[in-house]
Structure 1
Amino acid sequence: MKHFSTKNIIIIGILSALSFILMLINVPLPFFPPFLKIDIADIPAYIGFALFGGGVGFLIIILKIVLYAIIAASEPIGPIGNLLASISFLVPIYLIYRNKKTNKSLITGILVGTLVLTVILSLLNYFVLLPLYGMIIDQRDIVENLKTLITVGIIPFNIVKGLLVGAVIYLVHIKIIPVLRNITEKNTRL
């Protein structure tokens, strides 16, 4: 088991809080249903994956969702969807990059993560999330129009989201991760 210095534990806490704050800053994209909003809350979790490994990346995602569920959520479906989206997007990026640490593998990871995000969220939204959401807010039209909503809303939105967030991850990885890695590895080898 890895031993984390107090400094690294503080960095993990800051990344978790930052991820939660970034989740609150979300923007709807034109031409998509208004409940589909993009945020960059996965960036701090990606930093956790890159600096400390998979366990810390998962921890940051979970802490973000728990904070959001306690403080800001009005229903449980959104936080559950966000949790599953973050995991389905970030885990492929982490696993592909971890095995071969090159810019090409990072780009491959982002593309695979976008594909996995799109497929998993399309299936989950079709069979579970949107039907539950439709029942909670009493919107029968959501349930009656699932195929259309998935085809013209969920699928293109997740592709756009994956590519936009992936572009930010790439820039963060090139410019910020080396600096943060230097800070976290001083005095403590992980």
Structure 2
Amino acid sequence: MKNFHTYKILMISILSAISFILMLISIPLPFFPPFLKFDIGDLPAYVGFVVFGGGVGVLIIVIKIIIYGFIVSSEPIGPIANLLASLSYLLPLYLVYVRTKTKKSLVIGIIAGTIAMTLVLSVLNYFILLPLYGMILDQRDVFENVKTLVTAGIIPFNIVKGILLGLVIYFVHIKIIPILKKQNEKGQH
């Protein structure tokens, strides 16, 4: 049992570090504002959710954001937005998938996560995040264009992000999760 706890702590550390590194490898998507970038930093957290449970998945997200906040970010809004995006995408995905654990529930979970992330970030960006971002960076144009930024940038970006991330998660789930689950079961014994 002690070995399993050590193994679990080690895996949380590794998955958090990989999540942070993958977050750094972000790419801007064409036709979207340059501050909206796509990365697959949520993939290790998804692995944590499925292999170890919801608490571990959330912990990996939080550790990734803390590391990013201390090492990379010069303002708090980006990391907070990323934390909210990760949680609003992965929690519904996991909760839908965990009930039946089928490929169909995984796809439905990806759709639910995409919708949840899009709705949550649209509302939060409109009322809180973008106005705060504009205030912190003293950018008046953000204040004046919040509605346009949300409707033409945030909403379509999060739909595209949810779909692209969902495709990566689906592939990893089919190919790699079974191997990790077997490894985890060995670690418990």
If the length of structure 2 is used for normalisation, what is the TM-score? 0.97
**2:103 is the counterpart of 1:108:** no
Residue 24 of structure 2 corresponds to residue 24 of structure 1: yes
CA deviation map 1:73-124 (0-9, x unaligned): 1100000000000000000010000111110000000001000000000000
SS in 2 for 1:186: helix
CA distance in 1, matches of 2:81, 2:63: 15
State yes or no: 1:180 paired with 2:155: no
Structure 2: gaps (5+ residues): none
> Residue 134 of structure 1 aligns to which amino acid in structure 2?
G
In the alignment of these two chains, the number of paired residues is 188
Letter paired with 1:75:
E
TM-score, normalising length: structure 1 = 0.96
Q: Which residue in the other structure is 1:130 paired with?
A: 130
For residues 84 and 7 of structure 1, the distance between their equivalents in structure 2, rounded to whole angstroms, comes to 28
Q: Is the 8 A contact 2:16 2:63 kept in 1?
A: yes
1:37-86 C-alpha deviation (Å, 9 max, x unpaired): 00000000000000000000000000000000111111000000000000
Query: SS at the partner of 2:188?
Result: coil
**Which amino acid in structure 1 is aligned with residue 143 of structure 2?**
V
Matched, 1:10 2:10: yes
Q: Give the structure 1 partner of residue 48 of structure 2.
A: 48
Structure 1 residue runs of 5 or longer lacking an equivalent are none
Q: Which residue of 1 aligns with 2:140?
A: 140
Counterpart Cα distance in 2 of 1:148 and 1:186: 52
Q: Give % identity.
A: 66
How far 1:6 sits from its partner (Å)?
Answer: 1.6
1:11 CA drift (Å): 1.3
Going by fraction, where is helix more abundant, 1 or 2? 2
**Quick one: distance in 2 between partners of 1:8 and 1:181?**
12
1:118 pairs with 2:118 = yes
Comparing 36-45 with 180-189, greater Cα deviation is found at 180-189
SS in structure 2 at match of 1:5 = helix
Partners of 2:127 and 2:24 in 1: how far apart? 26
Counterpart CA distance in 2 for 1:35 and 1:57 is 26
Q: SS at the partner of 2:73?
A: coil
- After TM superposition, give the deviation of residue 30 of structure 1 in Å: 0.6
